[in-house]
Structure 1
């Protein structure tokens, strides 16, 4: 996977102002790759914060041809995933090693857990498939997340496709405005490194002054954001004229309201800039379609055309189908699944409903499965209901970058308690949860909740 890092690619540490470019970046990645040589063979599980040393460690794992699973360092299910997937090494740790592992330090990787020769819970798993490169969690914070199995071909193909669709060049500078363990945030890193561009590594958010200070300091030219962040940027009166180097905005991670698409397109166009609306899934490595900035406002509401190398079609039931080299090998629920080959042959049934217009532009009309997004993170609405059953009869539906909970006969204190509990269990900000009371949940003839009726209530 050394092809992922262009010889002229550059990483900048926003905290220190230090940077790695060309030979120094290659040397740092090679050193990190060498550190994995002393660990047992198999999966590397990485708790990946937005830090330069962590990024180099991740790139080192890829360069060492180690399959690597990326997780949120604050994820509550890390111990469960360690148990289920039996990684050879866990990086980014800050607590004592669990049973079957020993604590160690591996050079630039810092503190790690290394799998013991004899695990207390059984023999080592079979070796991962040789094509496997990357694993990402796809079910948000609910339940026990499945991992998406991505091949080396998929990772490289999608990085090149995104770079081509967005016209990323060596002089472009992106900032890590999203978590790197999240597929959209990771794709920003990949698509810039593969084309010799610059990535400024920061853990500041677009709502913090530090982010914009660093954006000006390092000449950030493009910003990636999810719908919630665009809502916040409008409240903060974002003005592109205040950021003369920033001339590209990209949006994915859920549906952005047409009003905001038109608004931010207009703001960028007024200064000669661009807004790209995109559609993607972890199961397709990252992005499947891109709406060219020049197609706005004529194609308002569309998510665009398939990325280079991919194609989009619509099944008989309206489901969006994607075909391309960036489609996952399949899911993984246990360590044994890592040994499987490609289950899908490049075809992905997205679970979303949509249609194509006469020019081949895709429009997403809804969801086939009960999946919603909160700030770009996918959650299973059935899981949400199950985890909150102690609050009484309730139903969860998806909204614009939030989950709306309907609960029978709840007063204001009960609604506040439910909102706080849901935010805590989902590991998100309470602004991503809306709670409404209803005398009785609407039911279908078979006794199940009529979600369509709830979806249509303003």
Structure 2
């Protein structure tokens, strides 16, 4: 199966052009074999470069165009791409020559990429450890097909680029609409941009994919689902959406015969793992749904046993054709094959109900200790009535929160957890630092401890 359905079309919001000629082999004229780095702004040309690489069987790493120059150079040094495309600094990296608005490697890499390798994505946006997730063509297409089935995407659907394409969720929205022969509007202003909402109405956008921080934006924007008659599907992934917002947006969409889908994913699964059917959201509050078609969930308990029995909390395991080949930290890793055999150990705690629906209970590594008591930092965030993020300190928990009375908030948290207030420090912030994918940048917060 190909990524590009002949009926798929990309709409340039800036010009109104409907683009179907997305395979452009000339993009890679003069580029030697090997992995290509694509700094991917939200443009039609970037989509064409990605689709061309995929259809020609060229492995491509999708990178944030806002990467700092030193970070880009570190990635290049580690992974030795055959070429780097997209917005580039004036001076090529060492060992590269400028050619047609690209940097081309002057000598071949020591190892060739594995033939199954199709896409590489960074695990932590534009910051953090430069580790790449290796995804195969099979994994990407399997996940796209699963989501097309789970959401009922057809050729009549129109999505819009509310998320960057180098982020796995944004890439997934692009992939699913290409596979389904649907349309995707490319608009680079985002929810707060002047042209975004006019584009939704002008091109009759039918679905909108957002992360939790963007749902907070919708609340501030006083989003009215009835004001956009064609927009009848909202999807949410990229982190936990507060339960009150799940209920609110479910009610808003139901009132106009629309749908809200809550999903759970990881880049390592290309990227979506579960989808909660919109018509079951009301009876399954807090769930992220069953595994996507073709996938299977189980729970690994503390003693190492694996189970699908209901209500037993442990580490979430997922099996399916969309699981990554593995990670890459150097160019040599790009030649590796499948390290995981279709098994993803998610690092998340969760439990299943009797219907196989998954409920998440936190991250294994997201814990702190206060006076020797082990606390789930995700649970602490859920307890707070305001947008907040918790990180572990030295025998205390530090909470960054958008609040006016941090002392009172800290005392209330300590009272609820039945621990002394001195184990909690609440620091007021106007806004939480976010990664380009909209998730909280915990690394930046930990640096502020």
**TM-score, normalising length: structure 1:** 0.79
DSSP 3-state at the match of 1:306: coil
Q: Distance in 2 between matches of 1:380 and 1:298?
A: 30
- Name the counterpart of 2:372: none
- Name the counterpart of 2:66: 74
CA RMSD of aligned residues (A): 3.4
- Name the counterpart of 2:95: 100
Q: 5 Å matches for 1:49-448?
A: 49-76=41-68, 77-95=71-89, 96-105=91-100, 111-117=101-107, 124-317=109-302, 318-370=314-366, 423=433
**8 Å Cα contact 2:37/2:63 also seen in 1:** yes
**8 Å Cα contact 1:174/1:223 also seen in 2:** yes
Give the C-alpha shift of residue 205 in structure 1: 1.0
How many matched pairs? 397
Q: Distance in 1 between matches of 2:153 and 2:438?
A: 33
Q: Distance in 2 between matches of 1:399 and 1:344?
A: 38
- Name the counterpart of 1:4: 3
Give the C-alpha shift of residue 132 in structure 1: 0.3
**8 Å Cα contact 2:121/2:166 also seen in 1:** yes
Q: Distance in 1 between matches of 2:115 and 2:441?
A: 40
Unaligned runs of 5+ in 1: 106-110, 118-122, 386-391, 442-458
Q: Distance in 2 between matches of 1:15 and 1:139?
A: 30
Q: Distance in 1 between matches of 2:40 and 2:441?
A: 23
Q: From the superposition, tell whether residues 427 and 103 of structure 1 become closer, same or farther in structure 2 (CA, over 3 Å).
A: same
Give the C-alpha shift of residue 124 in structure 1: 2.0
Q: Distance in 2 between matches of 1:246 and 1:100?
A: 49
Q: From the superposition, tell whether residues 194 and 396 of structure 1 become closer, same or farther in structure 2 (CA, over 3 Å).
A: farther
Q: From the superposition, tell whether residues 288 and 116 of structure 1 become closer, same or farther in structure 2 (CA, over 3 Å).
A: same
Give the C-alpha shift of residue 58 in structure 1: 1.0
**8 Å Cα contact 1:72/1:181 also seen in 2:** yes
Q: Deviation per CA, 1:332-390, whole angstroms, max 9, x where unpaired? A: 0000000000000000000000000111110001101249999xxxx9979xx8xxxxx
Q: Distance in 1 between matches of 2:72 and 2:16?
A: 32
Q: From the superposition, tell whether residues 249 and 427 of structure 1 become closer, same or farther in structure 2 (CA, over 3 Å).
A: closer
- Name the counterpart of 2:33: 41
Q: Distance in 1 between matches of 2:255 and 2:432?
A: 41
Q: Distance in 1 between matches of 2:360 and 2:229?
A: 33
Q: Distance in 1 between matches of 2:98 and 2:260?
A: 46
- Name the counterpart of 2:305: none
Q: From the superposition, tell whether residues 276 and 114 of structure 1 become closer, same or farther in structure 2 (CA, over 3 Å).
A: same
Q: Distance in 1 between matches of 2:433 and 2:244?
A: 27
**8 Å Cα contact 1:268/1:275 also seen in 2:** yes
Q: Deviation per CA, 1:116-151, whole angstroms, max 9, x where unpaired? A: 12xxxxx72300000000000012444322100000
**TM-score, normalising length: structure 2:** 0.81
Give the C-alpha shift of residue 430 in structure 1: 12
Structure 1 runs (4+) greater than 4 angstroms displaced: 371-374, 379-382, 392-400, 419-424, 426-436
**8 Å Cα contact 1:370/1:380 also seen in 2:** no
Q: Distance in 2 between matches of 1:66 and 1:36?
A: 10
Unaligned runs of 5+ in 2: 303-313, 368-376, 382-388, 411-421
Q: From the superposition, tell whether residues 397 and 427 of structure 1 become closer, same or farther in structure 2 (CA, over 3 Å).
A: farther
Q: From the superposition, tell whether residues 199 and 281 of structure 1 become closer, same or farther in structure 2 (CA, over 3 Å).
A: same
